Amino acid sequence: MNTVVTTRNDQPNFTAIKQKQQAAWGSGDYGKVGVTLQITGEQLCESMDLRAGMSVLDVAAGNGNVTLAAARRFCDVLSTDYVQSLLEQGRVRADAEGLDVRFEAADAENLPYEDNRFDNVVSTFGVMFAPDQITCARELMRVCKPGGKIGMANWTPAGFIGQLFKIIGQYVPPPAGVSSPALWGTEEFLHNNFGQHAENIEIRSKMFNFRYASPQHWVDVFRTYYGPFHKAILALDEEQGNQLQQDAINLIGKLNVAKDGTMVLPSEYLEIVITK
């Protein structure tokens, strides 16, 4: 997959793009999908070897999976996102467990924090959706302390979600000049954007299993709650919307390992731990 190179004349309007993204992620109810990914946040915290008392910034935190995982390890956690409704979901989850977490609205491409502030900076399937990818990568590195760690979980282009992005893009093309979020799930992107200021980069290929009652159940959940899929369906006429859903079911059919009518679908992602 090639990174799109832009010039002055075709520089994307990132502000307008982010406003549309906010509307997309605020539509439906991403939390219904997000909570199923909790295990990835727990595993990331273990891979980072988080210790009690460490400061942790969760960027593009969504409804707080890695936020909660870090707080359960008695870290000092600040959870941020640019969708207020998702932050509120994270707050409810933290309160339910009696966890001490701070929540603030923040843009991943313009974090309102001083340089070298946090021991750890984390994001699970969050920062990869920032349209200005290079600026976002710089921000993660900027706010992390020297010797600190940046931990991420990012979907790969070849995995299930990466392939789903490509299918959606055939029906609703991304804004001109904006690269696929799945680039964050490639070693080339990670080394190009973090390698210069990293002491070490650890990258592990992992699988998350999407477990649903059936392929149709997955479609029903994602078209209702998952912002990008939900908004794509709304943008299409009925025939195109039905075809997009059928294409998703066909993809699931190729990758589903369950033989009993249910859906158990391994989706590849990269777990990344960068030491600054």
Q: Is 204 left (phi over 0), alpha (psi -120 to 50) or beta?
A: beta
Closest-CA residue to 40 (of 269, 266, 274): 269
Does residue 220 fall inside a structural domain? Answer: no
Closest-CA residue to 124 (of 158, 157, 93, 150): 150
Does residue 219 fall inside a structural domain? Answer: no
**What is the phi/psi pair of residue 173, to 5°?**
-60, 145
Does residue 114 fall inside a structural domain? Answer: yes
Residue 53: give the domain boundaries. 14-210+268-275
Q: pLDDT tens digits, the chain, 276 residues: what are they? A: 333 333 334 677 877 777 777 666 666 688 899 999 999 999 999 999 999 999 999 999 999 999 999 999 999 999 999 999 999 999 999 999 999 999 999 999 999 999 999 999 999 999 999 999 999 999 999 999 999 999 999 999 999 999 999 999 999 988 888 889 999 999 999 999 999 999 999 999 999 999 999 999 999 999 999 888 988 999 999 999 999 999 999 999 999 999 999 999 999 999 999 999
**How is residue 229 written in tokens?**
């899929």
**How is residue 215 written in tokens?**
């392929």
Say what the pLDDT of residue 3 is. Answer: 39
- What letter would DSSP give residue 61? -
Domain count, the chain: 1
Say what the pLDDT of residue 4 is. Answer: 36
Does residue 218 fall inside a structural domain? Answer: no
Does residue 46 fall inside a structural domain? Answer: yes
Q: Residue 94's domain is classified under what CATH number? A: 3.40.50.150
Measured CA to CA, the distance from residue 8 to residue 187 in angstroms comes to 28
Does residue 153 fall inside a structural domain? Answer: yes
Say what the pLDDT of residue 237 is. Answer: 96
Measured CA to CA, the distance from residue 138 to residue 140 in angstroms comes to 6
Does residue 252 fall inside a structural domain? Answer: no
Does residue 22 fall inside a structural domain? Answer: yes
**What is the phi/psi pair of residue 210, to 5°?**
-75, 120
What are the distances in angstroms from CA 56 to CA 102, 130, 193, 196, 235? 11, 20, 21, 22, 38
Is 67 in contact with 58 (CB distance < 8 Å)?
A: yes
